[in-house]
A = this chain, B = another copy of it.
Protein backbone atom coordinates (compact mmCIF):
# COMPACT_ATOMS: atom_id res chain seq x y z
CA UNK A 1 0.00 0.00 0.00
CA UNK A 2 1.09 3.56 -0.40
CA UNK A 3 0.71 5.70 2.66
CA UNK A 4 -1.41 8.61 1.47
CA UNK A 5 -4.73 10.33 2.15
CA UNK A 6 -6.59 7.60 0.26
CA UNK A 7 -5.10 4.98 2.58
CA UNK A 8 -6.13 7.04 5.59
CA UNK A 9 -9.66 7.44 4.25
CA UNK A 10 -9.77 3.69 3.61
CA UNK A 11 -8.69 3.09 7.18
CA UNK A 12 -11.44 5.42 8.37
CA UNK A 13 -14.10 3.40 6.54
CA UNK A 14 -12.67 0.14 7.92
CA UNK A 15 -12.54 1.19 11.58
CA UNK A 16 -15.64 3.37 11.74
CA UNK A 17 -17.84 0.67 13.35
CA UNK A 18 -15.31 0.05 16.10
CA UNK A 19 -14.24 3.50 17.25
CA UNK A 20 -15.79 6.66 18.63
CA UNK A 21 -15.95 9.79 16.54
CA UNK A 22 -14.51 11.85 19.37
CA UNK A 23 -15.69 15.37 20.12
CA UNK A 24 -13.64 18.51 19.46
CA UNK A 25 -13.81 20.66 22.59
CA UNK A 26 -12.91 24.29 23.14
CA UNK A 27 -12.22 26.37 26.24
CA UNK A 28 -12.75 30.10 26.31
CA UNK A 29 -10.47 30.23 29.37
CA UNK A 30 -7.56 28.63 27.52
CA UNK A 31 -8.26 30.68 24.38
CA UNK A 32 -8.12 33.87 26.44
CA UNK A 33 -4.94 32.76 28.21
CA UNK A 34 -3.21 32.02 24.91
CA UNK A 35 -4.70 34.66 22.61
CA UNK A 36 -5.66 31.99 20.09
CA UNK A 37 -8.50 29.65 19.15
CA UNK A 38 -7.66 26.13 20.30
CA UNK A 39 -9.57 23.08 19.12
CA UNK A 40 -8.89 19.98 21.19
CA UNK A 41 -9.53 16.66 19.45
CA UNK A 42 -10.37 14.45 22.40
CA UNK A 43 -8.76 11.09 21.73
CA UNK A 44 -8.62 10.63 25.49
CA UNK A 45 -12.34 9.91 25.03
CA UNK A 46 -11.57 7.31 22.35
CA UNK A 47 -12.08 3.56 22.88
CA UNK A 48 -9.35 2.26 25.28
CA UNK A 49 -8.81 5.90 26.23
CA UNK A 50 -6.34 6.71 23.47
CA UNK A 51 -5.97 7.33 19.71
CA UNK A 52 -4.09 4.02 19.52
CA UNK A 53 -7.46 2.29 19.05
CA UNK A 54 -7.50 3.71 15.52
CA UNK A 55 -4.22 2.33 14.22
CA UNK A 56 -4.39 -1.06 15.89
CA UNK A 57 -7.96 -1.65 14.75
CA UNK A 58 -7.06 -0.74 11.20
CA UNK A 59 -4.05 -3.07 11.19
CA UNK A 60 -5.97 -6.01 12.67
CA UNK A 61 -8.93 -5.69 10.31
CA UNK A 62 -6.65 -5.22 7.28
CA UNK A 63 -5.18 -8.73 7.73
CA UNK A 64 -6.44 -11.54 5.52
CA UNK A 65 -8.32 -14.32 7.34
CA UNK A 66 -5.57 -16.94 7.22
CA UNK A 67 -2.97 -14.56 8.62
CA UNK A 68 -5.33 -13.10 11.18
CA UNK A 69 -6.17 -16.54 12.56
CA UNK A 70 -2.62 -17.01 13.86
CA UNK A 71 -3.02 -13.89 15.96
CA UNK A 72 -1.23 -10.59 16.38
CA UNK A 73 1.65 -9.51 18.60
CA UNK A 74 3.21 -6.27 19.77
CA UNK A 75 5.50 -4.83 22.34
CA UNK A 76 3.97 -1.81 23.99
CA UNK A 77 4.29 0.24 27.13
CA UNK A 78 0.55 0.31 27.24
CA UNK A 79 -1.97 2.01 24.99
CA UNK A 80 -1.02 0.21 21.79
CA UNK A 81 -1.14 -3.08 23.68
CA UNK A 82 -4.64 -2.38 24.93
CA UNK A 83 -5.73 -1.22 21.49
CA UNK A 84 -4.34 -4.33 19.82
CA UNK A 85 -5.88 -6.61 22.44
CA UNK A 86 -9.28 -4.97 21.93
CA UNK A 87 -9.07 -5.12 18.13
CA UNK A 88 -8.05 -8.79 18.24
CA UNK A 89 -10.95 -9.55 20.55
CA UNK A 90 -13.34 -7.79 18.17
CA UNK A 91 -12.01 -9.92 15.32
CA UNK A 92 -11.94 -13.08 17.45
CA UNK A 93 -8.21 -13.79 17.14
CA UNK A 94 -5.44 -14.16 19.73
CA UNK A 95 -3.27 -11.22 20.83
CA UNK A 96 0.17 -11.44 22.46
CA UNK A 97 1.45 -8.31 24.16
CA UNK A 98 4.99 -7.83 25.47
CA UNK A 99 5.04 -5.20 28.22
CA UNK A 100 7.94 -3.74 30.20
CA UNK A 101 7.68 -4.72 33.84
CA UNK A 102 7.44 -1.03 34.89
CA UNK A 103 4.33 -0.33 32.82
CA UNK A 104 1.58 1.68 34.50
CA UNK A 105 -0.79 -0.61 36.40
CA UNK A 106 -3.83 0.91 34.76
CA UNK A 107 -2.41 0.03 31.36
CA UNK A 108 -1.61 -3.57 32.37
CA UNK A 109 -5.17 -4.00 33.65
CA UNK A 110 -6.56 -2.65 30.38
CA UNK A 111 -4.58 -5.13 28.24
CA UNK A 112 -5.68 -8.00 30.50
CA UNK A 113 -9.29 -6.89 30.39
CA UNK A 114 -9.43 -7.56 26.64
CA UNK A 115 -8.17 -11.12 27.10
CA UNK A 116 -4.69 -10.73 25.60
CA UNK A 117 -1.79 -12.85 26.74
CA UNK A 118 0.83 -10.60 28.41
CA UNK A 119 4.55 -11.34 28.54
CA UNK A 120 6.52 -9.09 30.89
CA UNK A 121 10.14 -8.17 30.15
CA UNK A 122 12.87 -5.81 31.33
CA UNK A 123 12.18 -2.19 30.38
CA UNK A 124 14.77 -1.95 27.61
CA UNK A 125 14.14 -1.86 23.89
CA UNK A 126 16.41 -4.88 23.36
CA UNK A 127 14.52 -7.01 25.89
CA UNK A 128 11.20 -5.97 24.40
CA UNK A 129 12.23 -6.80 20.86
CA UNK A 130 13.63 -10.15 21.85
CA UNK A 131 10.54 -11.16 23.84
CA UNK A 132 8.41 -10.12 20.90
CA UNK A 133 10.48 -12.15 18.44
CA UNK A 134 10.15 -15.20 20.72
CA UNK A 135 6.37 -15.13 20.82
CA UNK A 136 6.14 -14.64 17.08
CA UNK A 137 8.45 -17.59 16.45
CA UNK A 138 6.31 -19.77 18.72
CA UNK A 139 2.83 -18.77 17.54
CA UNK A 140 3.12 -17.50 13.97
CA UNK A 141 1.41 -14.31 15.07
CA UNK A 142 1.84 -11.18 12.95
CA UNK A 143 3.82 -8.36 14.50
CA UNK A 144 1.83 -5.14 14.54
CA UNK A 145 4.48 -2.55 15.26
CA UNK A 146 3.07 0.32 17.25
CA UNK A 147 4.36 3.10 15.02
CA UNK A 148 6.26 1.73 12.00
CA UNK A 149 3.41 -0.38 10.61
CA UNK A 150 1.81 1.45 7.66
CA UNK A 151 -1.73 0.33 8.52
CA UNK A 152 -1.18 1.63 12.03
CA UNK A 153 0.02 4.99 10.70
CA UNK A 154 -2.95 5.21 8.33
CA UNK A 155 -5.32 4.48 11.21
CA UNK A 156 -3.77 7.13 13.44
CA UNK A 157 -4.22 9.66 10.64
CA UNK A 158 -8.00 9.34 10.90
CA UNK A 159 -8.08 11.55 14.01
CA UNK A 160 -6.76 14.49 11.98
CA UNK A 161 -9.26 13.74 9.20
CA UNK A 162 -12.12 14.06 11.69
CA UNK A 163 -10.63 17.18 13.24
CA UNK A 164 -10.34 18.90 9.85
CA UNK A 165 -13.82 17.76 8.83
CA UNK A 166 -15.27 19.29 12.00
CA UNK A 167 -13.10 22.43 12.04
CA UNK A 168 -12.02 23.10 8.47
CA UNK A 169 -10.25 26.41 9.02
CA UNK A 170 -7.29 25.64 11.24
CA UNK A 171 -3.91 27.23 10.66
CA UNK A 172 -1.90 24.56 12.39
CA UNK A 173 -2.28 21.14 13.95
CA UNK A 174 -0.22 19.84 16.85
CA UNK A 175 0.41 16.45 18.40
CA UNK A 176 3.04 14.83 20.59
CA UNK A 177 5.73 12.59 19.15
CA UNK A 178 6.96 9.31 20.57
CA UNK A 179 7.66 6.74 17.88
CA UNK A 180 6.02 8.90 15.26
CA UNK A 181 2.94 6.90 14.24
CA UNK A 182 0.42 9.57 15.14
CA UNK A 183 2.56 12.41 13.84
CA UNK A 184 3.06 10.72 10.46
CA UNK A 185 -0.62 9.91 10.03
CA UNK A 186 -1.57 13.40 11.16
CA UNK A 187 0.94 15.11 8.88
CA UNK A 188 -0.03 13.13 5.78
CA UNK A 189 -3.74 13.72 6.40
CA UNK A 190 -3.42 17.40 7.27
CA UNK A 191 -1.03 18.39 4.47
CA UNK A 192 -3.10 16.47 1.92
CA UNK A 193 -6.39 17.98 3.02
CA UNK A 194 -5.05 21.54 3.61
CA UNK A 195 -1.70 22.06 1.87
CA UNK A 196 -1.02 25.35 3.67
CA UNK A 197 -1.58 24.00 7.18
CA UNK A 198 1.40 23.85 9.55
CA UNK A 199 2.07 20.57 11.35
CA UNK A 200 4.03 20.91 14.58
CA UNK A 201 5.04 18.18 17.01
CA UNK A 202 6.02 18.49 20.65
CA UNK A 203 8.10 16.15 22.78
CA UNK A 204 9.59 16.03 26.26
CA UNK A 205 13.06 17.54 26.45
CA UNK A 206 14.00 14.34 28.30
CA UNK A 207 13.15 12.28 25.21
CA UNK A 208 14.09 14.71 22.45
CA UNK A 209 15.44 12.31 19.81
CA UNK A 210 12.83 13.51 17.31
CA UNK A 211 13.70 17.18 17.76
CA UNK A 212 17.42 16.40 17.55
CA UNK A 213 16.92 14.28 14.44
CA UNK A 214 14.73 16.92 12.83
CA UNK A 215 17.33 19.63 13.35
CA UNK A 216 20.27 17.44 12.32
CA UNK A 217 18.52 16.10 9.23
CA UNK A 218 19.47 12.53 10.16
CA UNK A 219 18.04 9.94 12.53
CA UNK A 220 19.57 10.28 16.00
CA UNK A 221 18.69 7.78 18.69
CA UNK A 222 19.27 9.01 22.24
CA UNK A 223 19.58 7.12 25.52
CA UNK A 224 16.46 8.07 27.41
CA UNK A 225 16.23 9.96 30.63
CA UNK A 226 13.02 9.53 32.58
CA UNK A 227 9.99 11.43 31.37
CA UNK A 228 6.57 11.45 33.00
CA UNK A 229 5.15 11.31 29.47
CA UNK A 230 5.37 7.53 29.39
CA UNK A 231 3.86 7.27 25.92
CA UNK A 232 6.73 9.28 24.45
CA UNK A 233 9.81 7.48 25.78
CA UNK A 234 10.38 5.57 22.52
CA UNK A 235 12.85 6.64 19.85
CA UNK A 236 11.29 7.49 16.50
CA UNK A 237 11.26 4.89 13.74
CA UNK A 238 13.16 5.07 10.44
CA UNK A 239 10.12 5.06 8.16
CA UNK A 240 8.54 7.64 10.45
CA UNK A 241 11.51 9.95 10.21
CA UNK A 242 11.38 9.95 6.41
CA UNK A 243 7.73 11.05 6.53
CA UNK A 244 8.48 13.64 9.20
CA UNK A 245 11.24 15.21 7.12
CA UNK A 246 8.85 15.53 4.22
CA UNK A 247 5.71 16.80 5.95
CA UNK A 248 6.42 18.24 9.40
CA UNK A 249 7.15 21.93 9.93
CA UNK A 250 8.70 21.91 13.39
CA UNK A 251 9.35 19.83 16.49
CA UNK A 252 9.59 21.64 19.83
CA UNK A 253 10.50 20.40 23.31
CA UNK A 254 9.14 20.98 26.81
CA UNK A 255 10.28 20.36 30.39
CA UNK A 256 8.77 17.83 32.79
CA UNK A 257 7.46 20.70 34.89
CA UNK A 258 5.73 22.24 31.91
CA UNK A 259 4.08 18.90 31.09
CA UNK A 260 2.65 18.45 34.60
CA UNK A 261 1.47 22.04 34.70
CA UNK A 262 -0.22 21.73 31.30
CA UNK A 263 -1.85 18.47 32.32
CA UNK A 264 -3.34 20.04 35.40
CA UNK A 265 -4.48 23.12 33.48
CA UNK A 266 -6.34 20.94 30.99
CA UNK A 267 -7.99 18.94 33.79
CA UNK A 268 -9.10 22.12 35.55
CA UNK A 269 -10.18 24.19 32.59
CA UNK A 270 -11.70 21.46 30.43
CA UNK A 271 -12.87 18.88 33.01
CA UNK A 272 -11.31 16.05 31.05
CA UNK A 273 -8.63 13.60 32.05
CA UNK A 274 -5.52 13.60 29.91
CA UNK A 275 -2.37 11.61 30.54
CA UNK A 276 0.99 13.41 30.68
CA UNK A 277 1.89 12.56 27.06
CA UNK A 278 -1.34 14.16 25.87
CA UNK A 279 -0.50 17.44 27.60
CA UNK A 280 2.82 17.91 25.80
CA UNK A 281 1.57 20.04 22.86
CA UNK A 282 -0.41 22.34 25.13
CA UNK A 283 2.67 22.61 27.36
CA UNK A 284 4.59 23.88 24.33
CA UNK A 285 1.84 26.40 23.61
CA UNK A 286 1.72 27.56 27.24
CA UNK A 287 5.50 28.01 27.30
CA UNK A 288 5.47 30.10 24.12
CA UNK A 289 7.38 27.47 22.12
CA UNK A 290 4.88 27.69 19.28
CA UNK A 291 3.76 30.95 17.69
CA UNK A 292 -0.02 30.70 17.79
CA UNK A 293 -1.07 34.31 18.55
CA UNK A 294 -4.35 35.03 16.75
CA UNK A 295 -4.32 31.64 15.04
CA UNK A 296 -6.69 28.70 14.98
CA UNK A 297 -4.87 25.62 16.20
CA UNK A 298 -5.95 21.98 16.40
CA UNK A 299 -4.40 19.94 19.22
CA UNK A 300 -4.75 16.17 19.38
CA UNK A 301 -5.21 15.11 23.01
CA UNK A 302 -3.81 11.65 22.64
CA UNK A 303 -4.96 9.73 25.71
CA UNK A 304 -6.44 9.72 29.18
CA UNK A 305 -5.07 6.62 30.88
CA UNK A 306 -3.62 7.68 34.20
CA UNK A 307 -3.32 6.03 37.58
CA UNK A 308 -5.66 8.09 39.76
CA UNK A 309 -3.74 6.97 42.85
CA UNK A 310 -0.49 8.46 41.56
CA UNK A 311 -1.25 11.88 40.12
CA UNK A 312 1.88 13.99 39.62
CA UNK A 313 0.63 16.79 41.90
CA UNK A 314 -0.25 14.47 44.81
Contact = CB atoms under 8 A, between A and B. Distances in A.
Contact of A25 (B45, B264, B309, B314): B45
Contact of A49 (B106, B264, B271, B308): B271
A268 B49 CA distance: 9
A5 B171 CA distance: 42
Nearest to A268: B308
Interface string A234-274: 00000000000000000000000000000010011011111
Nearest to A29: B113
A44 interface: yes
26 contacts: A23-B23, A25-B45, A28-B47, A44-B271, A45-B270, A45-B271, A45-B272, A49-B271, A106-B268, A264-B308, A267-B273, A267-B308, A268-B308, A271-B272, A271-B273, A271-B274, A271-B304, A271-B305, A272-B272, A272-B273, A273-B273, A308-B311, A308-B313, A309-B313, A311-B311, A314-B314
Interface in A294-314: 304-305, 308-309, 311, 313-314
Interface residues of A, number: 23
Interface of A: 23, 25, 28, 44-45, 47, 49, 106, 264, 267-268, 270-274, 304-305, 308-309, 311, 313-314
A50 to B, nearest CB: 9
Nearest to A46: B271
* A106, A271, A314, most chain B CB atoms within 10 A: A271
A228 B28 CA distance: 29
A51 to B, nearest CB: 12
Contacts of A270: 45
